[in-house]
Structure 1
């Protein structure tokens, strides 16, 4: 069965237009996601360009060749910009429009404008570059684990690969003189590939935006809004998992000394800054595998997986001394300190029981004069 390339172009344009409209409608519902606007504009431009190409020989070549192809190349540039926006990078509109502007300039040169091979090679190269660039941007962001990221990168890479293959194919088997460009089998293939790309990109790009929103919601639900560390529930869950994976673990409970007095004297803004400063300091000094969480108010907890009692005590002492040295030049009278309770996990002990032992040690540290460390089982450290 043979399909008329012009008909395929119209179908491809209609599908791309619907996809662009879908992106724009989604952007209206989520205006804080500009990536949807980029992708929507790209598909709408692609639909306009495809319509112009389908009207070849029915409208002036200035529109169906020069302008239509420029619009299509601009659409690929916007797809690349949209991917950069999704990855929180500058969209760089100038680079996105460079391919289309280069096309317009070259079309002013008679030798280029009269050579269908040169036009195909240039347009294919630009489209491949934008698709390849978008693929690279998606891949660079793989540290953010999104289920549809690999699918999106694959779709963009395959689409770019098609344009790369088209370049040597055109040079080895140039279009026959005198035949309408729409009669080339490559046009039918291009229409089919573009149609599949529009549909696949709609699913994958929408899925990426949805997956990121869900991920951010999960992070927000498990993160303390002020300090950025885990909240109580998230810390308890992570600590329980870590205790199951490691035989040795130590739990450190922190309580910032006389914190209410800091709030009363300097205000809650300074008090919040002290909390944030403590977490920043702890995150810097603690090992990467350590789990840090805010239990509430000025109380924090840290689970150190796979450490001995002596190492846990050394880590706690480093934190205590460093925090006590915190100075704010604008508030020379401000003094801060922290009391710490330590409990070492034992085989079979539940997290809540470990918390109770660490809490008792913290209570002892505060009763002992504050700015000190108390260990739930001192004998374990002497033995170590």
Structure 2
């Protein structure tokens, strides 16, 4: 029990260190209640039955319920704490009835079913989550083991009850292994929860390092990493390089605040006029790029035209400077399309992507030199890998 108590204290310490993660508050409370519940049941011969049976088992049920509510908070859903507390309050209420309080078998069967039900809710929430990771799968496996253990107790309930109508799980030395197993599972559950939080925070920081702060789009590093990963799947791929025309004049005339506003507007235009699965990034000051997986040349051309029209429409309602002057901001676009083989090594895909971007950059320069506000397309054919 000392180890379980230290484990509960450790979860509270983790929550204190990471107050920004609300799920940890639920999980810390869950571990505290589970430890209290186990302690009460283990001390049945020492403390009154009202504490060891009703409150002890009620605390364990509340602990399992809070694991579920914590998972909901972790996934950004309402916790439904009141629903999670229905089972413990119902069990405590039933313990006040003589026919239920005097039957250990009935109590074991009911609490086993209740714990199994609460674990089913937690398992369903884990499966519903969009992020699949090793800590999440580990927690899913552990809760499934708890579910199976509690369901297995029901057909063997008579073996767990001694002649004094008491649960022999904690009093019989031969059953001590079950207590150690329960403690081990509890420790692993704590580790899985903490690792889930750590993993998500690492992903958040990694994502922030790959995002452009002003526009919310991928930065150059994030764009290249995402594009490389998309290229491994093979198939047709279009690359679009976009450069805002005369952007320096906007900064010089209206200030960098106006320029930042134009960049943010253009980022919104890109999000609205390209597909959800397209990879879009800001790779320079006023230069943007997009990878369109599976897009043919005609698809990429139509997408580029939508972007040009979207920018023009977005800028008509924008006013800058003290006089509220409109800005005629346009964009030049270079397009290049190729087909990547699925069986090629990833290094070859990377070289082809780099070559495709270079081709798109070449025709973008041509669009700028021939009057801007144009769409230029690289010649169709194999992409040269270069020296």
Aligned to 1:117: 105
1:156 is matched with 143
Deviation at 1:220, TM superposition (A): 1.8
Equivalent residue, structure 2, for 1:342: 335
Q: Is the 1:254–1:341 contact (alpha carbons within 8 Å) kept by the matching residues of 2? A: yes
Alignment of 1:353-372 (within 5 A): 353-372=355-374
Distance 1:309 1:43 in 2: 57
Task: Give the corresponding residue for 1:10.
Answer: none
Q: Distance in 1 between matches of 2:183 and 2:142?
A: 12
* Structure 1 residues 267 and 63: alpha-carbon distance in aligned structure 2, compared to 1, 3 A threshold: farther
Aligned residues: 365
- Structure 1, gaps ≥5 residues long: 1-12
Q: How does 1:222-237 map to 2 (within 5 A)?
A: 222-237=210-225
Shift of 1:362: 2.4
Matching residue of 1:292: 280
Closer, same or farther: CA 116–371 of 1 in aligned 2, 3 Å: same
SS in 2 for 1:163: helix
Mean CA deviation greater in 239-248 or 88-97: 239-248
Cα separation, partners in 2 of 1:226 and 1:187, compared to 1, 3 Å: farther
CA 1:174–1:197 in 2, change beyond 3 Å: closer, same or farther? closer
* TM-aligned CA deviation for residue 108 of structure 1: 2.3
Q: What is the Cα-based RMSD across aligned positions, in Å?
A: 3.2
Q: How does 1:195-206 map to 2 (within 5 A)?
A: 195-206=183-194
Write the distance in 1 (CA, Å) between the matches of 2:339 and 2:66: 58
Identify which of 68, 78, 100 aligns with 1:80: 68
Q: Normalising by structure 1, report the TM-score.
A: 0.82
Q: Alpha carbons of 1:363 and 1:127: their partners in 2 closer, same or farther (altered >3 Å)?
A: same
Displacement of 1:145 in angstroms is 2.9
Q: Give, in whole Å, the separation in 1 of the partners of 2:357 and 2:29.
A: 54
What residue in structure 2 maps to residue 3 of structure 1?
A: none
| Candidates 154, 158, 179, aligned match of 1:167 | 154
Q: Quick one: structure 1 residues 336 and 184, their matched pair in 2 at CA, closer, same or farther if it must change by over 3 Å?
A: farther
Give the match's secondary structure for 2:134.
coil
Distance in 2 separating the partners of 1:241 and 1:101: 51
Partners of 1:146 and 1:212 within 8 A in 2? no
Structure 2 Cα separation of the partners of residues 328 and 108 of structure 1: 73
Query: 1:326 and 2:314 equivalent?
Result: yes
> Residues 122, 280 of structure 1: CA spacing in aligned structure 2 closer, same or farther, 3 A cutoff?
farther
